[in-house]
Structure 1
Amino acid sequence: MDSQNYSQAIDTLNKMAYHYYVLDSPIASDAEYDALYHKLKAYEDAHPDSILPSSPTQRVGDVPLSEFSKNSHLKRMWSLDDVFGSAELEEWLNRIYKTHPHATFTCSPKFDGASLNLLYEGGLLQSATTRGNGIEGELVTQNARTIFSIPLQIPYTEQIEIRGEVLIAKDDFESLNAQRLVDNLPLFANPRNAAAGSLRQLDSKITAKRPLRFMPWGVGAIHTQIQSFYEILKSLESFGFASMPFLWHCKNKSEILDAYHTLLDARESYPLMLDGMVVMIDEIPLQEQLGWTIKSPRFACAYKFPAVEKTSIIKDIVFQVGRTGVITPVAELEPVEIEGAMITRATLHNFSEIAKKDIRIGDTVIIIRSGDVIPKIISSIHALRDGSQVRIQPPTLCPECAQELLVEEILIKCQNLSCPARVKESLVHFASKKALNIDGLGEKIVYELFDKGLVRGILDLYKLKEEDLLNLEGWKQKRAQNLLNSIKNTYGIELWRLINAFGIEHIGEGASKKLAKNFGTRVFSVSEKEILSIDGFGEEMARSLCEFNHTNAELIATMLHIITPTIPQQHSVMDSPLMGKNVVITGTLSAPREHFVEILEGLGARVSSSVSSKTDYLLCGENAGSKLAKAQNLGVQILSEGDLQNYLKT
C-alpha cells in the first residue's frame, strides 16, 4: 500500500463505517472491512508520521486517564423548560405570539441519553465535552473518538460546536445487560444510565466496546448566514452525522400537535429512548431577541411525553423534614419496576394533595416516573379497597425534634432552626459539589458527625480536630486528615459558592454567581430594589435574600471572617457611565455572551434581550443582524468590545 492507496483506504473504510453505523445499511461484510483495516494498520505501523486524523485507527481507545479535565463550552448549553399537555403548550405559544405573531417552529425528538458538545476546527474534531453545568463540563474526547457515528472530520472548516445525545439502543441495552449478568457485573438501570456511564469511562477502551450512538440535535457556536434552525439541523447530515428522524418545520400549534402525536405513536417502537419533543423558534434572529432566563432559553421548550404509569400498594407513610423545615409525606411502596428502575418510595408532595386525592395506607395507587423525575403518586384506585385501608393523618409534631408544627395553607413546617433534620440537610447542602464542595463530607458522614455530637451547625465544621474524628469507629489518621484538609480548602473559595451554600430559598447556583459578580460581599446588605435591577431576578428572589440576610447577619459575618471568600473583580459601579443603562448584546464576540453579561451587570447596566426605544446601548460583535439595523434606526449608541474595555478602565 502506498500513500495514495492509504488515503483511498481511509475513505473506503469511513464510507463502510458510515453505512453500517449511521445509515444502518451495510455495503460490505465484516470480513471485507477487517481485511482492509488490517492493511491500513500495517501501513501506519510502518509510517507512523503519516497517520491522518481521519483514519479509523484513531478511534481505538487511548491510555486510561486518572481523571477528567474540565472544559468550557464556547456557548452555554442550556436546559429547557418542560411543558406538559396541550394547554401548557398553548400558554407557552401565546407568550411567543404576543411579541412575535409570525414565528414558526422547528420540532425534533428529545432523546433520553447523555448530552455531548463536539468542537470542530479546520474540519477536525478537537474536543468533546459533557453538558456539565452548562458552562463547563468534562472533557471526554478520547471516548467520543471511539463512537463511529461521530465523524472525526467534517466538510466545514469554520469553528463550530455540534451538540447531540449519546445513546444506547433498546436492543443493544438488553444485550449489554445480558452479558453483564453472565460476567457477574452490576446491571445498568436503563439505556440512559448505560450511555452516560459508558461515556464517562476513564478507560476509553471500555467505551469503545459499548454500542454507543451519537444523534445530533443542535449547535452552539457557529459561523453561518443561515437564519433557520431547521436548515442548520438538516445541514448536519451532509457533515456525516446521522439524519435526525421526525424533524418538522411547523407553522402553528396544529402542526406542532400533529408532530407531537406522530412522535408519541412511535415512542414504543422506535429503537432509541425518547421522552418528548423539543419545540424551538425556527428564526435565529427571533431567538436572539427573546433571549434567556437565568436557567433556560425563552425561545424553546421540551414538550414532554406522558410519564410511564405503574401500580403498587402503599405499605406505610414516612414524614421527611427538609432543610427549610417543610414536612413532605413519602409513601413506602411494594417494589415496582418502572423504566428499568426499582421504585420503593414515591412522594405525596403535601397533605392537601393527599386529602384531595383521598389516598390511604394500604391503597393500590398509580405511580408515574418520567426520566429522572422523582416517582410520584397521582391517584389511588378506590374500587380495589377492602376496608383495611387507613387514612393518613398529618403530624402535629415534628417527627425529628417533636416541636409543634406550623400549619400553613398547603405546607406544614417545622420552625425549629435547631431541628436535627433541618440542620443535617443544611450541612449536606453546605458541603455539596455546587456549594463549598467539601470532598469526603457526604450525607452519611454528615449524619455520623451530627449523631455523635461533633457537629451541630455550619460553624462546628471549622472547629473539628483530628482527635475528634479518630474517636469515631472506622476512622484512621489519613481519612481524618483528608476531611480536615477538604474543610481547610474552603478558605478563599469563590464568593458565589458561599452564597449558594447558605441554601437561601429561590437562590440557586446561577443566581449566586450573578449576585457575587454584581455586589461582591455587599450582597449580604443590598436592598430589594438593587437586586431587582439584575436581569432575571424577581420579587420572590429579592425578598428571600433580604430576609435571609436580616435573620442570619451574625452567621454571615462569622463565615465571611473564617472563609474570606474570593471576590470577583469589582468596578466602581456608582461612577460607571453604564450605571442603570439598558444594554443589548448582538453579534459574535470574543467570548461567550454570559461573559459580557457579567461585565455589564458588574458596571451597573441592565442587560436586555431585544432592542427597543428604551435601549441605551448596543454591544455589537461581528455578523450582527437585525438588532444592529433596529438600533441604528432608533439612534441607539453602538459599543464595540474596545469601547467596553475603556469603560472598565474608567
Structure 2
Amino acid sequence: MTYEEYKKAVEKLKKWSYAYYVLDNPLVPDEVYDKLYREVEQFEKEHPELIDPSSPTQRIGEEPAKEFVKAKHLTKMWSMEDVFNEKELKEWLKRVEKNLAGKYDIEKIDYYLEPKFDGASLNLIYENGLLKHAITRGNGIEGEDVTLNAKTIHSIPLKIEHKDLIEIRGEVVIPKDDFEKLNSERVKRGETPFANPRNAAAGSLRQLDPRITARRKLVFYPWGVGYNTLNLNRLSEILDFVYTQNFLKPPKRKICKKYEEILDTYEDFKEFREHFSMMLDGMVVKVDQVDAQEILGYTVKYPRWMVAYKFPAIEKMTTILDVKAQVGRTGVVTPVAIVEPVEIEGVIVERATLHNYSEIERKDIRIGDKVIIIRSGDVIPEITKVLKEYRTGKEKKIERPKFCPVCGSELLDEGILIKCQNLSCPARVVNSIIYFASKQCLNIEGLGESTVKLLYKKGLVKDVSDLFYLKKEDLIGLPGFAQKKAENLIKAIENVKGVECWRFINALGIEHIGEVASKVLCEKFGLGFINATKEELLSIEGFGPEMAESVLEFVRVNREKIEKLMDLIKPREPKKEEIKESPFTGKTVVLTGAMKKPRNEIKEMLEHLGAHVTNSVSKKTDFVIYGEDPGSKYDKAKQLGVTLLPEEKMWEMIEASTKK
C-alpha cells in the first residue's frame, strides 16, 4: 500500500465507521471493513511516522492511565437551572423578559428547544481540526482529562473541518438496551450493577483503561459550544454548524416564540421519550439569540438564558418499613423513611426523605402505610401521598424523638425543626470534620470517615481545630496506624496550611454556601468575608437573602472558631490583579453591536484597565462602545448625551494604554 492509497483507505474507513456506529446503517459487510482495517493497521505498523491521527485505528491502543489529570476548560462550563411545572416555567420566561426589558426587543426573542439527555457532560476541545482534549464538567472551571476514552466513542470525530480553536460541549449517554446488557454482565461477574444509565455513562467515561470504555456503546450528543470564533448570532445556527462537522443531531428540536408553543413541544417531547433509545429527563429551553444571552448573563451558578423543564417524576407504590432519625452536621434531626425496595427508572430506592416531623403529622404518615413515592432526576426520593384505604389497623404512629439518637442528649423541639444542641455530639463533630477534610474542601488525604470516627472515639479530636494539634505519637498504636501512616496523616494535615481561601470557606459547611458561592465570597472579600454586612453580601450577583442571612448567622455563632482556624491554617487570599491606569479607569462602560472579539473577552480586557462594564445605559454611563449593527443602547446613549466610541477607537485607546 502506498501513502496515497493509505490516505484513501483511511477516509473510506472513516465513512464506513460513521455509517456503522453513528447512523446504524452499515455500508459494507463486516468482512470487507475488517479486511481494509487490517491493511491500514499493517501500513501504520510499517510507517508509524505517517499515521493519520484521525485514522479509526487510533481510537484505542494507548496504555491504561494510572490516574486522571485535571484540565481547565477554555471558558466556564455552567450548570443549568431546573423547573418542574408550568408555573415555574412561566416565572422563568417572565424573568427573561424583565431582564431584557429596555435592552432588547422582546418581540424578536426566539427560544431553542431540544431534549435533555440524562448522561455525563463532556467538553471537547478541537485545535487545527484535531481533537486535543476531552474534559468532564468537573466544577465548571476544570474537570478530568478523559481524552483517550473519548477517542473510543465513534460519535466523537477525531478530526473536523473547522480549523479554529473551538470547544464543543455535549452529553455522553448509553442506550437503554446497552445499559440493561451491561448490568446483566456485571451481575453475572458478581459486580454491583450501575444504578441508572447516567451513572453507567459517567462510570464508563471515567475508566482508567480506554479498552473498557471502548467495549461500552457510548454516544455523544452536542448541545452547545464554549470558546469559539464563529460569527453566528443564533444558538440554532451554531449547532447547525456543529452538525456539519459529523456530530449527531438530537432526535427532535424546535424554535418557538410563545409560551403555548413551548408547552405543546414539551408534551410532544414527553410522549416521545418513551420510544427513544436513550434516557431523556426533560426539555431544555434556551434563548436562541446570542446577543440577548450576553445581556441576560449569569447568576453565581446558572446562565439566565437557559433552563431545563424536567419531565414529571415517576411514581411508584411501596410500604414504609421503619423511620430513622438522622442527625446532620448542624444538629438538625431529620426523619428518613426506610421503604420496601422499589425500582424507579433503573434506580433501586430504599429510603425517602420525610423532611420533618411536622410534615409526618400533617400527612398522618405511619409505619406500615402504603405510600406513593416519587423520584425526579437527582432529587432525593420523597413520599407524596399516603394510601389510607390500604390500612389494616396494624400501622404504628411515628413519635417525635425527645433524645438525640446519636449522643442521647435532650433535643430542642422548635416545632418544624428538632435540633441536637450538644456541640460534642459525635454526629455533629464527626460529620463536620468529615466534610472539612473532604476532596471538595481541604482535601486531607487519609482523613476519611473511619479515621475521623476513630480519632473522635479515642478522644483525640473533639473539634475541627484539634486536628492541627495532633502529633505522630498520638496516632502510632491506633488500629491500622503504623509509623508511615501516622507520618503521612500528620503531613497531609500540615499541607493544608496556606490552602486557597475558597476551599477554607467551603470547608466551614455554611448552609447554602457551596463551592461556587465560596469562590465568589473569596474574590469579593477574601478572609474579610466575616466582616461583610448584609448589604455587601446582597450586592453580590446571585446572592439572595437566604444566602446572606446564612453567612451572617454562621459568623455570629462561630466567629471565634473561624478566627482560630484562620490563625491555624492561614488560608491564601486571591491575588488582586493590578489595574492598569488608562482612559477607562473608573469609567462605566456599556458594549453594544457585533465586535471583532467575543464580548466577554473585551469585557475582561476593559475591567483589567479599570473600567466597570455594565449592561444598561444611564446618565451615569461614561462610554458606550459600539460595533456593527448597534441596537437600542446606541440610541439611548445618543438621547442621554453619553459619549459614543466606535470599536476601532476603543482598540486605539487600549493599545495606547498598554504601551505606557
Q: TM-score, normalised by structure 2?
A: 0.90
- Label 1:13 to 1:513 Cα distance change in 2 as closer, same or farther (>3 A): same
Match of 1:210 among 213, 216, 220: 216
Match of 1:115 among 121, 134, 138: 121
Match of 1:314 among 298, 305, 320: 320
- Label 1:145 to 1:520 Cα distance change in 2 as closer, same or farther (>3 A): same
2:6 matched residue in structure 1: 6
Q: What's the CA shift for 1:61?
A: 3.4
- Paired residue secondary structure (1:330): strand
> In structure 2, what residue type is equivalent to 1:375?
P
> Does the 8 Å CA contact 2:500/2:573 hold for their aligned counterparts?
yes
- Label 1:621 to 1:193 Cα distance change in 2 as closer, same or farther (>3 A): farther
- Identical columns (%): 50
> Does the 8 Å CA contact 1:328/1:350 hold for their aligned counterparts?
yes
How far apart, CA to CA, are the structure 2 residues paired with 1:646 and 1:619? Answer: 19
> Does the 8 Å CA contact 2:617/2:633 hold for their aligned counterparts?
no
2:463 matched residue in structure 1: 457
Q: What's the CA shift for 1:299?
A: 0.8
How far apart, CA to CA, are the structure 2 residues paired with 1:649 and 1:465? Answer: 55
> In structure 2, what residue type is equivalent to 1:34?
D
> In structure 2, what residue type is equivalent to 1:612?
V
Q: What's the CA shift for 1:627?
A: 8.8
Mapping for residues 95-106 of structure 1, pairs under 5 Å:
95-98=95-98, 99=100, 101-102=106-107, 103-106=109-112
Match of 2:617 among 596, 612, 617: 612
How far apart, CA to CA, are the structure 2 residues paired with 1:282 and 1:469? Answer: 59
> Does the 8 Å CA contact 1:364/1:384 hold for their aligned counterparts?
yes
1:523 aligned to 2:529? yes
The farther-off stretch of 178-187 and 294-303 is: 178-187
* Cα offsets for 1:375-408 (capped at 9, x unmatched): 2111121111101112222223333344444444
2:78 matched residue in structure 1: 78
> Does the 8 Å CA contact 2:138/2:144 hold for their aligned counterparts?
yes
How far apart, CA to CA, are the structure 1 residues paired with 2:143 and 2:523? Answer: 21
> In structure 2, what residue type is equivalent to 1:82?
D
- Paired residue secondary structure (2:278): coil
Mapping for residues 16-27 of structure 1, pairs under 5 Å:
16-27=16-27
1:63 aligned to 2:63? yes
- Paired residue secondary structure (2:53): coil
* Cα offsets for 1:280-337 (capped at 9, x unmatched): 1111111111110000011111110111222221111111121222221101112222
The farther-off stretch of 110-119 and 534-543 is: 534-543
- Paired residue secondary structure (1:552): helix
How far apart, CA to CA, are the structure 2 residues paired with 1:624 and 1:65? Answer: 50
1:374 matched residue in structure 2: 380
Q: What's the CA shift for 1:342?
A: 2.4
- Paired residue secondary structure (1:333): strand
Mapping for residues 441-480 of structure 1, pairs under 5 Å:
441-480=447-486
Match of 2:439 among 433, 444, 465: 433
Match of 1:290 among 290, 296, 312: 296
Q: What's the CA shift for 1:601?
A: 10
- Paired residue secondary structure (1:109): strand
* Cα offsets for 1:492-517 (capped at 9, x unmatched): 11011111111122322112112212
> Does the 8 Å CA contact 1:615/1:636 hold for their aligned counterparts?
no
Indicate the RMSD between aligned Cα atoms, in angstroms: 3.2
How far apart, CA to CA, are the structure 1 residues paired with 2:590 and 2:541? Answer: 12
Mapping for residues 525-604 of structure 1, pairs under 5 Å:
525-570=531-576, 593=600
> Does the 8 Å CA contact 2:137/2:143 hold for their aligned counterparts?
yes
> In structure 2, what residue type is equivalent to 1:22?
V
1:145 aligned to 2:145? no
The farther-off stretch of 412-421 and 222-231 is: 412-421
How far apart, CA to CA, are the structure 2 residues paired with 1:419 and 1:648? Answer: 59
How far apart, CA to CA, are the structure 2 residues paired with 1:569 and 1:16? Answer: 53
How far apart, CA to CA, are the structure 2 residues paired with 1:598 and 1:559? Answer: 37
Q: What's the CA shift for 1:628?
A: 7.8
How far apart, CA to CA, are the structure 2 residues paired with 1:362 and 1:223? Answer: 61
How far apart, CA to CA, are the structure 1 residues paired with 2:623 and 2:516? Answer: 24
> Does the 8 Å CA contact 1:75/1:592 hold for their aligned counterparts?
no
1:165 matched residue in structure 2: 171
> Does the 8 Å CA contact 1:535/1:607 hold for their aligned counterparts?
no
> In structure 2, what residue type is equivalent to 1:319?
A
> Does the 8 Å CA contact 1:582/1:614 hold for their aligned counterparts?
no
1:90 matched residue in structure 2: 90
How far apart, CA to CA, are the structure 2 residues paired with 1:3 and 1:430? Answer: 59
Q: What's the CA shift for 1:22?
A: 1.4
How far apart, CA to CA, are the structure 1 residues paired with 2:179 and 2:636? Answer: 53
> In structure 1, what residue type is equivalent to 2:392?
D
> In structure 1, what residue type is equivalent to 2:618?
S
- Label 1:4 to 1:286 Cα distance change in 2 as closer, same or farther (>3 A): same
- Paired residue secondary structure (1:422): helix
How far apart, CA to CA, are the structure 2 residues paired with 1:647 and 1:547? Answer: 45
Q: What's the CA shift for 1:225?
A: 2.1
In the alignment, structure 2 segments of 5+ residues that lack a partner are none
Match of 2:357 among 351, 362, 371: 351
> Does the 8 Å CA contact 2:587/2:623 hold for their aligned counterparts?
no
2:248 matched residue in structure 1: 242
1:261 matched residue in structure 2: 267
1:42 aligned to 2:45? no
1:134 aligned to 2:140? yes
How far apart, CA to CA, are the structure 2 residues paired with 1:164 and 1:70? Answer: 19
> In structure 2, what residue type is equivalent to 1:238?
T
* Cα offsets for 1:583-609 (capped at 9, x unmatched): 667888999959977995997x8765x
How far apart, CA to CA, are the structure 2 residues paired with 1:54 and 1:621? Answer: 42
> In structure 2, what residue type is equivalent to 1:59?
R
How far apart, CA to CA, are the structure 2 residues paired with 1:578 and 1:420? Answer: 56
- Label 1:299 to 1:53 Cα distance change in 2 as closer, same or farther (>3 A): same
Q: What's the CA shift for 1:90?
A: 1.3
Corresponding residue pairs, total: 647
* Cα offsets for 1:124-157 (capped at 9, x unmatched): 1111000000111001111111111100111211
The farther-off stretch of 241-250 and 590-599 is: 590-599
How far apart, CA to CA, are the structure 2 residues paired with 1:81 and 1:196? Answer: 21
How far apart, CA to CA, are the structure 1 residues paired with 2:309 and 2:237? Answer: 21
In the alignment, structure 1 segments of 5+ residues that lack a partner are none
- Paired residue secondary structure (1:34): helix
- Paired residue secondary structure (2:7): helix
1:174 matched residue in structure 2: 180
> Does the 8 Å CA contact 1:154/1:239 hold for their aligned counterparts?
yes
The farther-off stretch of 385-394 and 338-347 is: 338-347
Q: What's the CA shift for 1:255?
A: 1.4
Q: What's the CA shift for 1:451?
A: 2.4
- Label 1:547 to 1:641 Cα distance change in 2 as closer, same or farther (>3 A): farther
- Paired residue secondary structure (1:425): helix
How far apart, CA to CA, are the structure 2 residues paired with 1:580 and 1:505? Answer: 36
How far apart, CA to CA, are the structure 1 residues paired with 2:609 and 2:257? Answer: 40
> In structure 1, what residue type is equivalent to 2:37?
Y
1:272 matched residue in structure 2: 278
- Paired residue secondary structure (1:41): helix
Q: What's the CA shift for 1:621?
A: 11
How far apart, CA to CA, are the structure 2 residues paired with 1:130 and 1:618? Answer: 40
Q: What's the CA shift for 1:62?
A: 0.8
